[in-house]
Amino acid sequence: MEETWRWFGPKDAVQLPQIRQTGARGIVTSLHDIPYGEVWSIAAIEERKAIIAADASLGLEWRVVESLPIHERIKLNEGDQTALFDNYRTSMRNLAACGVKTICYNFMPVLDWTRTTLAHPLPGGGTALRFDIVEFAAFDCYMLERPGAEAEFSEETLVAARNWAKAASESDKAKLLANIMAGLPGAYDRYDIPGLRRMLDRYRGVTREILRENLARFLREIIPLADELGMRFAIHPDDPPRSLMGLPRIVSGEDDIAFVLGAIDSVANGLTLCSGSLGAGPKNDVPGIARRFAHRIHFAHLRNVAKDPNGSFMEADHLDGDTDMVALVSVLLEEQERRRLSGAANWRIPMRPDHGHELLDDIGKPTHPGYPVIGRLKGLAELRGVMRAVSAAKGWPLS
C-alpha cells in the first residue's frame, strides 16, 4: 500500500523533513485556514502543493485531501444551499485541475472524532487518547444538561457520572469540554456549553432517516461531477460509532456503509476504511467489512482500539487492540493485487498510521492530539512489517 502521513499544514509542529524520515512519501492534508463552505482556489491549492514539493530531495507529494469539509447547513438541509454546493463543486474542479483527486470526508454532525481524555497514562510514561463513557455521560447529562440524556446511559454509568460531576472542579470540567472539542480539526470554531446547546437545537427533529437522506442528497449533488473528473470520494466512519449528545450517527457499521455506497452505485462513491473508528463498535467485524466493500475502499486509516464492556475504549498499539490487523491488512493487500492485475492505473491503496501514542520526547510537544511523530512512526513501522510479510508470503509486489 502507499504509505502516507497526515500533515496539518505549515503551522503543524511536525515538519516535512521529519515526515520524510518516517519513510512515508504521500502527504494527506487540507486547507484548514479556509472556512467551511468557501471555495478552495487554484492559487491556494497550488501554494500548498508548492510547499510540499519545495524540497525536491524529500520526494513528497499531496496524495489525499482530508478533508474538503461539508458545511453544517448541508448536513441539516437547512435553507438555500445552492451557493454551498456550487462552491463545493468549484473546489472539486480546482483540486482535480491541480492533480489531487482523492478526498476523504465525513458526515458527522457538529463534532468530528470525540475523546474525553487526550493523555491517558500508559505504562512507562507514554499517553493515549481515550473515550470514557462515564466522563462523557457526566458531560452530556450534568454539564450540557441535555434534556433526555440520562435515558441513553445505563444506571451504573449514571451513578458514576454523577459522582464524577460532584467531585469535579471547574478546571476539570473545562478540560473535559476542551478535550471533547479537540477533534475539530484546524482553526475551526470550538463550542462553549451555550454554543453547543444552540448547535444541538438546530438538529432537533433531525432523525437518523433524515440525516441519511441529507447525505444521499449530498452524494447526488457531487458524485456525478466526481465521476466526470476522475475523483474518488471516501467517506470516513463515525468516531465513535454511536450516537453522541442525541445526534444521529449514520456511518457506524456494515449496514450503514452499504446504504452510503448504494445511494449512488459509482466507484467515485467510496469508503475510507478506518479500522479504529469501526473497531470501537462492539458488533463490527472490521476485516469482514473491509472484505465486503474492498472494491470501494479508496483510503485506509490503520489504528487499533481496546474496548471496555461499558462502551469506553482507548487507542491501543497498532498491532494490539481488538481488531486483527494482520487479517485486515491481508484483505487490503488482496484487493490491491486484484486492482493491479486488472490494469488499474492507480492500484495502490493509500494508507496512513492513525492516532499514535505520545511517546519519548514527543511528550508535551504541541502536536495535534493523536498525531505525534514517534507514536505514528512506531505504528507505521509495525504496519510496514505486516505488509512486507504478507506480500512476500503471497508473492505479491512489495508496496
What phi-psi label fits residue 233: left (phi over 0), alpha (psi between -120 and 50 degrees) or beta? beta
Quote the cell numbers at residue 173. 470540567
The pLDDT value recorded for residue 257 is 98
Catalytic status, residue 98: no
Rounded-to-integer distance, Cα 115 and Cα 107, Å: 18
Per-residue pLDDT at 352 exceeds 60? yes
Whole-angstrom distance, CA of residue 270 vs CA of residue 114: 23
pLDDT tens for 35-86 read: 999 999 999 999 999 999 999 999 999 999 998 999 999 999 999 999 999 9
120 is catalytic: no
Q: Please indicate, yes or no, whether the overall pTM of this predicted structure exceeds 0.85.
A: yes
pLDDT at 244 > cutoff 90: yes
Q: Is 317 an annotated catalytic residue?
A: no
What does the pLDDT average to over 147-161?
97
Catalytic residue among 274, 317, 318, 357: 274
Q: How many CA atoms lie within 13 A of 150 on its CB side?
A: 11
- DSSP strand E in 166-277: where? 232-235, 269-274
pLDDT higher than threshold 50 for residue 187? no
pLDDT value at residue 399: 67
Total number of residues shown for the chain: 399
Q: Is the pLDDT of residue 347 over 50?
A: yes
Catalytic residue (choose from 298, 301, 318, 357): 301
pLDDT at 256: 98
Catalytic status, residue 371: yes
Which amino acid is present at 294?
A
Q: Is 331 helix (H, G, I), strand (E, B) or coil?
A: helix
| DSSP letters for 181-198 | HTTS-TTPPPP-HHHHHH
**Cα angle: 117, vertex 177, 194; to 5 degrees:** 165
In the set 71, 236, 298, 318, the catalytic residue is 236
In whole angstroms, give the CA distance from residue 129 to residue 120.
6
Whether 189 has a pLDDT exceeding 70, the answer reads no
Instruction: Please report the domains of the chain, with CATH numbers, ordered by start residue.
Output: 2-114+208-306+318-394 (3.20.20.150), 117-199 (no CATH)
User: How far, in Å, are 129, 168, 360, 382 from residue 122 at the CA level?
Assistant: 10, 23, 12, 19
CA 206 to centroid of chain Cα atoms:
23
